[in-house]
A and B are shown apart, each in its own frame.
Chain A
């Protein structure tokens, strides 16, 4: 099974609007899920255009699914769902 790819946008806009707090997600993933998930800090994912700035910080799952106003709790919950669905 492919790992679930979690990209955290660390572009300056997302960083200012909350991504700084998301950096610890890698450490918060439950031990049993760690080898199933790959967390990556990315430079600007170009999701924060004019109308969508308020949605920062952004996180992207598996290269396609975008989460706006991401928080550690929301991201962890989604990771668990995705792992559950894939199993």
Chain B
């Protein structure tokens, strides 16, 4: 969805691509914040100087540098650019290759969540708020309801009870969005990610209205690799459908035109995931009909299990994800090629690092490359694919897609096969608590599909639409 946050991110990315192609990125980088916020222009925050400082940090993250790693505030973007030399800079030991970074100066330090009464209160006679509050925290003072914060437990009963919608809960969007309590304000009142807890689902990134959470991009790494003449294979995630105008085959052509040495659909890898995951499931059920298995293609889910649900570790399918199989296919075709996963996902960045996928780009970053190089997807001829991927494989980007694929595969092998499946369509605090119950031995089904994003990857944090 387009808003001010996505707009500035995309504008900066396109500027980076254009300056890179002009060969002027190093000299232009430090000029961009000034160009975008010249003196006497309208500031988004208190003043243009604050805006510029934030823009600098945004560009830093877009160069792939973690804002948290900054030790010298006077260091220029040109220096970061030169230092990185696109072989990968040194990583902070406590944040090895974390794909997210918080831009402190952009964080508004939202006040802690509380339930408050607004002037919409009419001081009515029935006073359902007073009667429904289990803690007797609400009183009427001067004809208006007042909530005693020392008593309030934020249960929200008064919010539902009030016929005037006069009581609201204020929120800290990043904290509300995080399913695992990994983002909190530090001693300076600025959001900070606990990278030992973070599952890189990207929900804080998508939720922050100040765009303070940023991805550490590999955009310039990819541009530099192209320039060095490396053969890069663009592996387009199934979620690409409807992200850009035109068909997937046209998007593949657009990628080839943009400088990728080869292009392919990750859905071809998903076909192999389906085949192996089905076989694995059947084998597990034969060994122990009372056991259950859960899917392994959503990297945020795999991270969630690994970091927070130790009891479930043995139940996660050992079958590699579509991205991993797609990488195998690309490497089998050309062992020297480097692979670039292109999708809507933050967590894929962490999976890619574990599974030797060389780079990850978001659809936004791919869009910036196409925009920077003036390539319109709808104007491209369809790419001559050997064969299009199976529709069930392309369907992996939707919630229920994996379940449907496994069920179709299993019934084709074993007629009348029954799958007792459940889908978790989006990870949040509620579903997290539910999964914890499952992990404690209350699993109601034998096949659990989990997608961190509601609706599936197509609604990922870095999706365009």
- Residues of A at the B interface (CB closer than 8 Å) are 10-13, 15-18, 20-21, 43-44, 48, 50, 53-54, 56
Contact = CB atoms under 8 A, between A and B. Distances in A.
Contact of A54 (B18, B36, B367, B371): B36
The 10 residue pairs across chains A and B that have the minimum distance between CB atoms:
A13-B371, A12-B371, A12-B370, A43-B376, A16-B367, A16-B10, A43-B379, A18-B2, A11-B376, A12-B376
A16 B464 contact: yes
A12 B367 contact: yes
A50 B16 CA distance: 11
B86 interface: no
9 contacts: A11-B371, A12-B370, A12-B376, A15-B245, A16-B368, A17-B11, A43-B376, A43-B379, A53-B11
B409 interface: no
Contacts of A18: 2, 7
Interface of B: 2, 7, 10-11, 14-15, 18, 36, 244-245, 364, 367-368, 370-372, 374-379, 464-465
B15 A12 contact: no
Query: Majority SS of interface residues in chain B?
Result: helix
B212 to A, nearest CB: 21
A11 to B, nearest CB: 5
B375 A20 contact: no
A82 B465 CA distance: 31
Contacts of A48: 371
Given A12-B367, A12-B377, A44-B374, A20 B11 contact: no
Contacts of B36: 54
With most chain A CB atoms within 10 A of its CB, the pick from B14, B36, B244 is B14
B374 A17 contact: no
Contact of A20 (B15, B371, B465): B465
Nearest to B372: A13
Nearest to A9: B376
A50 B35 CA distance: 11
Contact of A43 (B371, B378, B464, B465): B378
B10 A10 contact: no
Nearest to A69: B7
A53 B244 CA distance: 19
A55 B90 CA distance: 37
Contacts of A54: 11, 36
